Amino acid sequence: MGLDNFDEILQEADGIILARGNLGIDLPPEKVFLYQKEAIHKCNVAGKPAVVTRVVDSMTDNLRPTRAEATDVANAVLDGSDAILLGAETLRGLYPVETISTVGKICAEAEKAYNQDLYFKKAVNHVGEPMTHLESIASSAVRAAIKVKASIIICFTSSGRAARLIAKYRPTMPVLSVVIPRLKTNQLSWTFSGAFEVFYSTV
């Protein structure tokens, strides 16, 4: 059962989708919010995406969400979730475009109230010591970008791991990941003189 083996699943998974409809069946109503917060926190610490579902079910038939649903969406953002996944609201709902627009606006407002500085400090504190070189570079890059009010962070990576670590610290600016593929030396005919091998393409 996923609830009993969450830590093991998180360790192997690329990300987690919290199917809250199922949580409502498997857990008492008063426990759902607590499990959601704990699961999102564990995803944040692991640097893996947490996706939350079933937030505005009433918009399947109504143009506006209930106050409880609007608060639920905002709290999902403030808890640290990475995405809101809509289902029936847009699949068979009467107002799919309006639903996406409304949820997007709520998320945008919640992000304005998000305490990034507090989150950053907590994220650093949860990293084991000694910190790996890549983790140190990623956290330092985010700290520096925030301090100088950078408009973007550009990350050159071959595997994507560095970009994921940067995103883990939730910088307030966009992260542009430039993937540099690793090349075999026999893939290109080099005309330059010298006896050295070239393993990376030029950007």
CATH classification at residue 145: 3.40.1380.20
Residue 186 has pLDDT above 60, yes or no: no
Which residues face 182 on adjacent strands? Answer: 200
The residue whose two tokens read 């907590």 is: 122
pLDDT band at 41; cut points 50, 70, 90 = very high
Work out the average pLDDT over 66-78.
95
Q: What pLDDT, on a 0 to 100 scale, did the predictor assign at position 199?
A: 52
- In the 8-state DSSP scheme, what is residue 131? P
194 inside domain: no
pLDDT attached to residue 76: 94
The DSSP secondary-structure symbol of 7 reads H
Task: Provide the pLDDT confidence category of residue 22 given band limits of 50, 70 and 90.
Answer: confident
When pLDDT is averaged across residues 128-150 and rounded to a whole number, the result is 90
Residue 201 scores a pLDDT above 60: no
Cβ-contact 111, 80 below 8 angstroms:
no
Same domain for 138 and 97: no
Would residue 154 count as lying in a domain?
yes
Q: How confident is the model at residue 144 (pLDDT cuts 50, 70, 90)?
A: very high
> How many folded domains does the chain comprise?
2
Indicate the pTM of the whole model.
0.77
Strands (E) located in the chain = 16-18, 50-53, 83-85, 153-157, 175-179
Last residue of a domain, one of 61, 79, 112: 112
Give the pLDDT confidence score for residue 126 in this predicted structure.
80
Q: What's the CATH number where 57 sits?
A: 3.20.20.60
Verify that 108 and 139 share a domain, yes or no. no
184 pLDDT higher than 80: no
Confidence of residue 188 (pLDDT cuts 50, 70, 90): low
Residue 130 has pLDDT above 90, yes or no: no
Point out which residues pair with 176 in neighbouring strands. Answer: 154
Confidence of residue 183 (pLDDT cuts 50, 70, 90): low
Note the pLDDT of residue 36. Answer: 93
Distance of CA 162 to the CA centre of its chain: 14
21 and 42 part of one domain: yes
Are 121 and 34 in a shared domain?
A: no
Q: What mean pLDDT value characterizes the chain?
A: 86
Tell me which residue range forms the domain holding 153. Answer: 116-187
Tell whether 20 and 98 lie within a shared domain: yes
Are residues 146 and 57 part of one domain?
Answer: no
- The answer for 173, left when phi > 0, alpha when psi is -120 to 50, beta otherwise, is beta
Residue type, 111: E
Asked whether residue 179 is domain-assigned, the answer is: yes
C-beta of residue 177 within 8 angstroms of C-beta of residue 160: yes
39-48, 57-66, 124-133: segment of lowest average pLDDT = 124-133
Same structural domain, 23 and 78: yes
Lowest mean pLDDT among 72-81, 122-131, 182-191: 182-191
